[in-house]
Amino acid sequence: MVNIEIDGIPLKVDPTKMIIQAADEAGIDIPRFCYHKKLSIAANCRMCLVEVDKARKPLPACSTPVSDGMKVFTDSKVAVNAQRSVMEFLLINHPLDCPICDQGGECELQDLSMGYGEGISRFTERKRAVKDKDIGPLIQTDMTRCIHCTRCVRFGQEIAGIKELGATGRGEHMEISTYVEHSLVSELSGNIIDLCPVGALTSKPFRYKARAWEMQARPSIAPHDAVGSNIELHIRKNEVMRVVPRDNEDLNESWLSDRDRFSYLGLSSEDRLSEPMIKLDNQWQVVDWQTALDKTVEGLKGVISKFGAEEVAGLISPTATLEEAYLFQKWLRGLGTDNIDHRLRQQDFTDTDVDDSLSDWQLADIDDSDAFVLLGTNIRAEQPIIAHRIRQAALAGATVSSINLFTRDLLMPVDRQMAVNSPQLVQTLAGIAKALLAAAKQEPEDWLDLLPERAPSAFEHNVALQLSNAMNATLFVGDLINHQPQASTLRSLARLVAELSDSRLVVLPSSNSNAHRLAGSMPADKGLNARHCWERALRGYVMMGFDPLLDTAQPTIVHDALRRASFVVSISSFESDWVRQYANVILPMACFAETSGTFVGIDQRKQQFAGAVAPRGDSRPGWKILRVLGNISKLKGFDYISSQDVVDEIESPLRELKRGSKTGFIPDSLNLESDLMLISEVPMYRSDSLVRHSKALQQTPESRADGFARINQKEADKRGLDPQHEVVISQDDRKVSVPLEIDNNIADGCIYLAAATSVSAQLGSLFSQVQVMKAGRE
Amino acid sequence: MKLDQVCFRTSHLTPSWTMESYRSVGGYQVLESVLKNKMRPEEIIEQVKNSALRGRGGAGFPTGLKWSFMPRRLPGDKYIVCNSDEGEPGTCKDRDILRYNPHQLIEGMIISGYAIGAQTGYNYIRGEFYEPIERFEAALEEAREAGYLGRDILGSGFHFELHTHIGAGAYICGEETALLESLEGKKGQPRYKPPFPAGYGLYGKPTTINNTESLASIPVILQYGADWFHELGTPNNGGSKIFCMTGHVNKPGNYEVPLGTPFAELLELAGGMRNGNKIKAVIPGGSSTPVVPGARMMELEMSYDGIGKGGSMLGAGSVIVMDETTCMVKALQRIAYFYYEESCGQCTPCREGTGWLYRVIKRIEEGQGRQDDMDKLVHMAENINGNTICALGDAAAAPVISFIKHFRDEFQYHIDHGRCMDNTA
Amino acid sequence: MTQMLLTGPKEELFSDALREQMDTWIAKYPEGQAQSAVIPCLHILQDANGGWLSRGIMDALADYLDIPAISVYEVATFYTMFELEPVGKHKISVCTNISCMLCGSEKIMNHLQQKLNIKPGETTQDGQFTLKEVECLGACVGAPMMLLDRDYHEYLTPEKIDNILDGLAS
């Protein structure tokens, strides 16, 4: 530590710090534009010039390291003169269009010009004008306002891992742009809106919608992935106008994924449900809540009395809150059924008893990991913030391997990447395990017969070496494994590899599913899991918070089951033609931001949030609907006053929760069928109803690609397929016809078709074996 | 006054640029002796220090001291980079070294690499110098064939590789850290300092950047001794220096004369004033240095300290001579346009200020000046000065401040009458 | 103009001869520092493409050097020797900076403008000449001067210019 003085205040400072960091820590304000604590230092705006004792000119606080005995003056005559002169230069070419600028009221330039600017400009020449660029549906550009701080450029290079924006031209003609107009592809792109200190980069969907001072900020938690990013909802007149990140170093740092930032647009979708409805004589009628709730309980009790409680199933979205999950299962168990599940996209439940949850692991531990193996995860789409943290670790030297059904640019240094189909994925994992055996402390006896006789390949050896050389390796298993019909086999091998290499295994949860495990919204005893609930075609279904054909693993089976059921209740925030077809009662539920609740993240961190706006129309928070359903069902223990009461009960030490075993699961065989396999990835912006209803997200290039089937050239040639013709993908008697794109990132033996679309909803199950041929030939 | 003893020492030979010619004046003997005798690098650095050689690119920083900053024992790559990105208006000496005596630069670079512990050198030559690039490349080829470059040079165990790098038109790349950025394949935007190149230079490795003329002086310094070199010039201003005499003189040209030579003698060497006109003003060190009134200039010596006495800088020795017909407003307008055109755009004061300066001066020149314009210009220039990452901001400010200081009447006349004083063009 | 392949596998881009030229440059820099060769490569490609750089060329170079396309655009727009629009068969760059100005570059510029009937920044209708006003080219002792394609011409007079340009045409 060195001793310095800033404005006469003595400070002890880490000698690696810059003056501005020391000042920030001490709460001493130094004006700045280009400096940002999370980005590299550019020192270009010159706004942070300060006087330093013995220096012959003002020095930039952002790039001047502290040294022992240094005396800094941030508001001396020299410092303020320098700051004022920089401000004058910044303003001469800045349009004074604050009245029509979205940044107005929260503009760093506007704020600082109040302190350092002159009332009257000496600049009488013509101001510069810069043409605006279209960089996609999320970000509005007004480049005449740009002050060239390059925060956005540095963000792309250093955080997003993709340099899309640059500063072209030079001198006064320097412009921040993509040069060739295109939409930004980074899933973190929206952060440049926050980073831009002026109104050059603003939110396109928010444009001209509200003024900063008209809105109230309410803290909340983002619901779309397993991180639980901390956010702030900006509210005006009971409407969420926009979402911005709240700093949380343990989770999202200063960042937010575009999905978490722009999903709020779905809240005002015309597809929102606002009134309870019941179906009478095949006609939907709007009714009051009492009627709808009575009808719900009456209908379910009818099914139970006629066919037995085991003919009723309750399925709930993993995005639902902890409280909703808990009350959902409590109510249904109260009615007598154990057919309860939230694992809607899961197909393989054979290793259900294995508990992969983590109790001694924090998200920020990623930063300290020195090796990552990504298994079956398109991590950037699935968990953008986790991808960001892995990227930062990789940039700091951690090794990264990825084995998946397709390769994708991870926008980080990757040591090795491989795309293989499922049978090969199993073999590859087995090969890695085999390679690790040599140095294993203890041989896993149960596995010895299963592992292949062959010698491990070079790739397998290298991954094994990567893991065994690491001090602190982490394996991630993602949706592209977890949603497969062979997920248990794949996961068991991942566990084996982790165990043999003494690595950490992280099975990536879907959004709030850790809350559901905690709440017990899954079978506790003999109940049916999600898959069986549909396959067995029961008489009564209660669905909460999801779309039956877009959010489930076997859309057509779900379709058949619901069509045949005698009583179906949907508790949901969004309209769906399918639901109108099947359901008997529709209960409109409050959405994200409209309800209080608890989110349990990947590292078991519980985060509570309050409702920020009133529910849409006559819709009600899920937990209240369930509480009343419990009451009407005449069940005991449903007299909660607040959602906190529910949490208290969940956390009660008296409550017994079934815990899985850690003993693992050994598959019978490692040989899988190897016909053409469908890759049913849930695309980034199809992950849940709210996201799917955000128009801006649906307009991104990422979303526009969802309509295509993709196959590699080799497989296309084998089957005589070409991009000029649509292809027909068939599975049993189901067929869909889609346009084709050649994509050599797709593994051999696979064809990619995005899940959670109206096209995929016409197929039997995700990740199934399919046939494919040129349209017109079938 | 002795001419052409250092960088131009082959100038009496035809052709002057071949290995043969260079060898005939003692070329490469120093390198051979350094390697054969395994001369201690510290000793070379000491000699360069004692020679009082100061950076010939414009800043005048003592070369030996610069070399001593290199962590020469630190393992890993280190670089010596030659700055042949000559572009300061009024400067054209490095072009002639490259064209007429490239081997001396090569020898100088190899020796400097040896002294600072670098095994790789790059000579960054501006892209428009097609002919000098060809000459330098040809010389490199000769040097390689003669075994002066490559692995285990002359059996000494010392490895050194030297490459040409080319620019593409950007004055700012003459700034040493912008040059490094450009050499890394980026825009030439200066880096903030610290860290300095000796710690964090090319590709983040320790690097020394010297001007062409500085490096070409090294073999002569070592051949004839630091004292000899030092005594050529004046105390603290060692050696001779190439002066580019341009503008209104009868014989414009590059003149290599001892530092400390009176300006009047240099002017005479350049044939005196064109058309017998009166000398009005001189920019002694390239467009970035403050202008000096002619009469004052006639009293000064051409050395770092000598020009300093006149309130200006020796810079790169680029002497721009202006006679009584020169419109100082127009001259300043052209210089201001240059900095506006060449600002890299990184720092606010320079990006925004250089254009503002130019536009106001242009307005005055075009007869649209306002009474407060001069004060505004000076204030603006002062606000740019010292507030940017590199010295381009200072360079843009210095002419404005000095032109208005020394020729205020002329500017005032322009503002009042909308045209030049009668005796100027 | 050289035929160039601008899409496809890296090892087939441009042409064999161009790749060979560019590889000589890339080899000068340490491993992993191919970006250093951006400027030399842009020169090579610009020369091979009749004096200007198309977007396709820049994109292909980005692929070839394995760097983001925007990094190539940044460089190509920063340095004045790079042309991003088609230019004439011959490029004339006239220095008008201070030393040249003092020695009559204005007269030289006017003469060229009249002779070619174009303004600085323009190309003659027959596509023969592009005229540019440029900053100091480091030949101040030979003022006034110009760069014609790859050659410096110094101590210019209108007559000398006529001779040079007429010599080109014949």
Q: Which residues of A touch C74 (CB under 8 A)?
A: 166-168, 179
Q: What is the pLDDT of residues A632-675, one digit of tens each?
A: 999 999 999 998 999 999 988 767 666 666 667 889 888 887 78
State what percent of residues in chain A have pLDDT above 70: 99
CB nearest C70 (choices: A169, A170, A178): A178
Alpha-carbon gap, residue A2 to A305, rounded angstroms: 78
| C33–B203 CB contact, under 8 Å | yes
Amino acid type, A133? K
User: How far apart (Å, rounded) are the C-alpha atoms in residues C107 and A314?
Assistant: 90
Q: Which of A153, A157, A168, A411 to mutate to test the interface with C (most CBs of C within 10 A)?
A: A168
Closest chain C CA to residue A165: C70
Distance from CA of A510 to the nearest CA of B (A): 42
| Tens of pLDDT, residues A554-565 | 999 999 999 999
Cα-atom radius of gyration of chain B, to the nearest Å? 22
Q: Helix axis angle, B348-365 relative to B408-417, nearest 10°? A: 60
Lowest mean pLDDT among A199-213, B65-79, B294-308, C156-170: C156-170
Which chains sit next to B, with 3 or more Cβ pairs under 8 A?
A: A, C
**Helix extents (H) in A448-565:** 458-469, 479-482, 487-501, 513-519, 530-535, 555-564
Task: Note whether A428 and A451 are within 8 A (CB).
Answer: no
Inter-CA distances, A586 with A571, A625, B271, B319, Å: 6, 12, 101, 88
Q: In A, residues 383-402, which contact C (CB 8 Å cutoff)? A: none
* List of chain B residues whose C-beta atoms are within 8 Å of the C-beta of residue C138: 86-87, 91-92, 94-95, 126, 128-129
Of B2, B11, B22, B95, residue with least CA distance to B316: B95
Q: Of the given ranges (A291-295, A442-446, B94-98), which has the lowest mean pLDDT?
A: A442-446
Cβ partners under 8 Å of residue A199, min gap 6: A101, A102, A103, A104, A107, A142, A145
Return d(Cα B90, Cα B105) in angstroms, integer: 22
Whether residue C110 lies within 8 A of chain B, CB to CB, comes out as no
The answer to whether the CB atoms of C151 and B130 lie below 8 A apart is: yes
**CA pair distance C9, A310, nearest whole angstrom:** 60
Closest to A631 measured CA to CA, from A288, A331, A292, A278? A331
**Across A728-756, average pLDDT:** 95
pLDDT at A573: 98
Q: CA B123, B128, B134: angle at the middle one, nearest 5?
A: 60
- pLDDT value at residue A687: 96
Alpha carbons B267 and A758: distance in angstroms, whole number: 86
Q: Can you give the pLDDT at residue B423?
A: 60
In this structure, chain C runs to a length of 170
User: Is the confidence at residue C77, as pLDDT, over 90?
Assistant: yes
Q: How far is C29 from chain B (nearest CA, A)?
A: 9
The answer to whether B358 and A172 are in contact (CB under 8 A) is no
For residue range A621-632, list pLDDT tens digits in order.
999 999 999 999
CB A636 within 8 A of CB A624: no
Q: What is the DSSP letter of A29?
A: -
Q: How far is Cα B365 from Cα A712, in angstroms, rounded to an integer?
A: 67
Residue A415 to chain C, least CA–CA distance (Å): 15
Q: Report the amino acid identity of residue B1.
A: M
* pLDDT tens series, chain B, 425 aa: 788 899 999 999 999 999 999 999 999 999 999 999 999 999 999 999 999 999 999 999 999 999 999 999 999 999 999 999 999 999 999 999 999 999 999 999 999 999 999 999 999 999 999 999 999 999 999 999 999 999 999 999 999 999 999 999 999 999 999 999 999 999 999 999 999 999 999 999 999 999 999 999 999 999 999 999 999 999 989 899 999 999 999 999 999 999 999 999 999 999 999 999 999 999 999 999 999 999 999 999 999 999 999 999 999 999 999 999 999 999 999 999 999 999 999 999 999 999 999 999 999 999 999 999 999 999 999 999 999 999 999 999 999 999 999 999 999 999 999 998 866 55
Chain A CB contacts of B384 below 8 Å: 89
The neighbours of chain A, by the rule of 3 or more Cβ pairs under 8 Å, are B, C
> Quick one: which of A85, A84, A197, A202 has its CA closest to A139?
A202
Cross-strand partners of B321: B247, B282
Residue-wise DSSP of A724-762? TS-EEEEETTEEEEE-EEE-TTBPTTEEEE-SSSTTGGG
User: What confidence tier does A440 reach under pLDDT thresholds 50, 70, 90?
Assistant: confident
What is the nearest CA distance from C77 to chain B, expressed in angstroms? 9
Q: Which tens digits make up the pLDDT trace of A563-612?
A: 999 999 999 999 999 999 999 999 999 999 999 999 999 999 999 999 99
Q: Which residue has the tokens 């020369």?
A: C47
Question: Positive or negative CA dihedral for B359, B364, B370, B371?
Answer: positive
Question: Cβ B340–A169 below 8 Å, yes or no?
Answer: no
Cα C138 from Cα B287, distance rounded (Å): 12
What residues of C are in the A interface, CB distance below 8 Å?
55, 68-71, 73-74, 77-78
Q: Give residue B43's pLDDT.
A: 97
Residue with tokens 């679309």: A757
Strands in chain C per DSSP E: 90-95, 129-134, 146-148, 151-153
Residue A551 carries which side chain, given as an amino acid letter? D
Whole-angstrom distance between the N-terminal and C-terminal Cα of chain B? 36
Chain A residues in contact with B346 by the CB 8 A cut-off are 42, 44, 148
Concatenating the DSSP letter of every residue in A583-612 gives: -SEEEEB--TTSS-EEEE-TT--EEEE---
* Tens digits of residue pLDDT in A127-151: 999 999 999 999 999 999 999 999 9
Q: Is the peptide bond before B195 cis (omega within 30 degrees of 0)?
A: yes
Cα A356-A361-A367 angle, rounded to 5 deg: 125
Residue B2's pLDDT is what?
A: 83
Helix or strand (DSSP H, E) at B237: none
Of C68, C69, C74, the CB nearest to A167: C74
Q: Does A185 touch chain C (CB under 8 A)?
A: no
Residue-level pLDDT at A120? 87
Q: Looking at the complex, does the CB of residue C134 fall below 8 Å from at least one CB of chain B?
A: yes
- A180 shares contact with chain C (CB less than 8 Å): yes
Contacts of B322 in chain C (CB under 8 A): 102
**HEC assignment per residue over B335-354:** HHHHHHHHCCCCCHHHHHHH
- The answer to whether B383 contacts chain A (CB < 8 Å) is yes
Residues sharing a CB contact under 8 Å with residue C101, sequence separation 6 or more, in sequence order: B330, B331, B334
Would you call B318 helix, strand, or coil by DSSP? strand
Please report, in angstroms and rounded to a whole number, the separation of the first and last CA atoms in chain C: 21
Chain B residues inside the 8 Å CB shell of A90 = 348, 352
pLDDT of the residue at A657: 66
The residues, any chain, with a CB within 8 Å of residue C166's CB and separated by 6 or more, are: none
- Determine which of A172, A176, A198 to mutate to test the interface with B (most B C-beta atoms within 10 Å): A172
* Sheet bearing C151-153, strands edge to edge: C129-134, C90-95, C146-148, C151-153
User: Can you tell me the mean pLDDT for A335-364?
Assistant: 93
User: Do A53 and A71 meet the contact criterion of CB atoms below 8 Å apart?
Assistant: yes
**Preceding omega of C144 cis (within 30 degrees of 0):** yes
Nearest Cα to Cα of residue A322 among A587, A641, A626? A626
Extract the tokens encoding B377.
Answer: 């210009």
Q: A68: burial class by Cβ within 10 Å (0-12, 13-18, 19+)? A: exposed
Shortest Cα distance, chain B CAs vs residue C87, angstroms: 17
Query: Which structure tokens are listed for B169?
Result: 């038109």
Is A167's CB within 8 Å of C69's CB?
Answer: no
CA distance A80 to A74: 7
